[in-house]
């Protein structure tokens, strides 16, 4: 069963608690939380204090995606705030093995993300340590972007790499996922589909999430 993780980057920022409650009721599996620092990516979003406040509003897993420089300095704070998965970028983590260990020491699932132009080969030595691999199918920083078509082949290669591991991490895709392409993305091997504007840009979250799940599980 494929999982749908609405990204609150595309939600109404003035009523995030209500938006999270609405997508939970509508059938979402996870809540995807994009953390941006204005340095690693050209945007600023939210920090641990906001996540801690939102944590009280739902029982759904918080999938916290750190698009920040020096992620090691903030792992403990995001873990304490209520993250379930903490994902860092290979491009931002100088000592990735140490960073993943820090996440696991905090009792959280550890993920690594790759920007569209970053080769999968950067993960070769770290794959057995992953709980989650996140493939970015847009250049990170803003919601509502178009899926980069070449990402599909990368997702397929990533799925092949993970399939050979004794303990297979989840494969997540973030960026431009919508009703028109989710079946192809899921068919390429994605387990978790992040959908921002595709969910929060619609009026009926229940109908939208049900349609996304139906398309994703055709594969």
What is the per-residue pLDDT across 104-136, written as a single tens digit (0 to 9) for each? 999 999 999 999 999 999 999 999 999 999 999
- pLDDT, mean of residues 39-66: 95
174 is catalytic: yes
Longest dimension (CA), the chain: 44
Instruction: Please tell me the predicted confidence (pLDDT) of residue 42.
Output: 87
Q: How far is CA 114 from CA 117, 125, 199, in A?
A: 8, 15, 23
| DSSP labels, 49-75 | HHHHHHHTT--SPEEEEEE-SSGGGTH
For CA atoms 19, 143, 59, 14, the dihedral sign is negative
**d(C-alpha 7, C-alpha 137), whole Å:** 14
pLDDT grade for 153, boundaries at 50, 70 and 90: very high
Identify the active-site residue in 63, 131, 174, 191. 174
Using alpha carbons, select from 20, 29, 28 the residue that is nearest to residue 56.
20
pLDDT grade for 145, boundaries at 50, 70 and 90: confident
DSSP H or E run through 133: strand 132-136
- What percent of the chain is predicted at pLDDT more than 90? 91
63 is catalytic: no
pLDDT grade for 33, boundaries at 50, 70 and 90: very high
3-state secondary structure of 31: strand
pLDDT grade for 144, boundaries at 50, 70 and 90: low
**d(C-alpha 169, C-alpha 146), whole Å:** 26
CA 156 from chain centre, in angstroms, equals 17
- pLDDT, mean of residues 48-73: 97
Domains of the chain: 3-216 (3.20.20.70)
Identify the active-site residue in 34, 37, 129, 191. 34
3-state secondary structure of 113: strand
Q: Average per-residue pLDDT in the chain?
A: 95
Q: How would you class 62 by CB atoms within 10 Å of its CB: exposed for 0-12, middle for 13-18, buried for 19 or more? A: buried
């Amino acid at each position: 069963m494929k999982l749908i993780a609405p990204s609150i980057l595309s939600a109404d920022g003035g009523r995030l608690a209500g938006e999270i409650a609405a997508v939970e009721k509508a059938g979402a599996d996870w809540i995807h939380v994009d953390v941006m620092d204005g340095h690693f990516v050209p945007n600023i979003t939210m920090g641990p204090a906001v996540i801690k406040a939102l944590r009280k509003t739902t029982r759904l897993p918080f999938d916290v995606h750190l698009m920040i420089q020096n992620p090691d300095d903030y792992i403990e704070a995001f873990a304490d705030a209520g993250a379930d998965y903490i994902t860092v970028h290979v491009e931002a983590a100088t000592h990735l093995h140490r960073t993943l260990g820090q996440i696991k020491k905090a009792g959280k699932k550890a993920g690594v993300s790759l920007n569209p132009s970053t080769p999968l080969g950067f993960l070769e030595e770290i794959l057995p340590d992953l709980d989650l691999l996140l493939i970015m199918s847009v250049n990170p920083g803003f919601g509502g972007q178009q899926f980069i078509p070449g990402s599909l082949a990368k997702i397929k290669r990533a799925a092949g790499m993970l399939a050979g591991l004794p303990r297979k991490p989840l494969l997540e895709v973030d960026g431009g996922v919508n009703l028109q392409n989710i079946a192809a993305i899921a068919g390429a091997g994605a387990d978790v589909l992040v959908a921002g504007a595709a969910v929060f840009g619609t009026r009926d979250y229940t109908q939208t999430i049900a349609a996304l799940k139906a398309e994703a599980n055709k594969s």
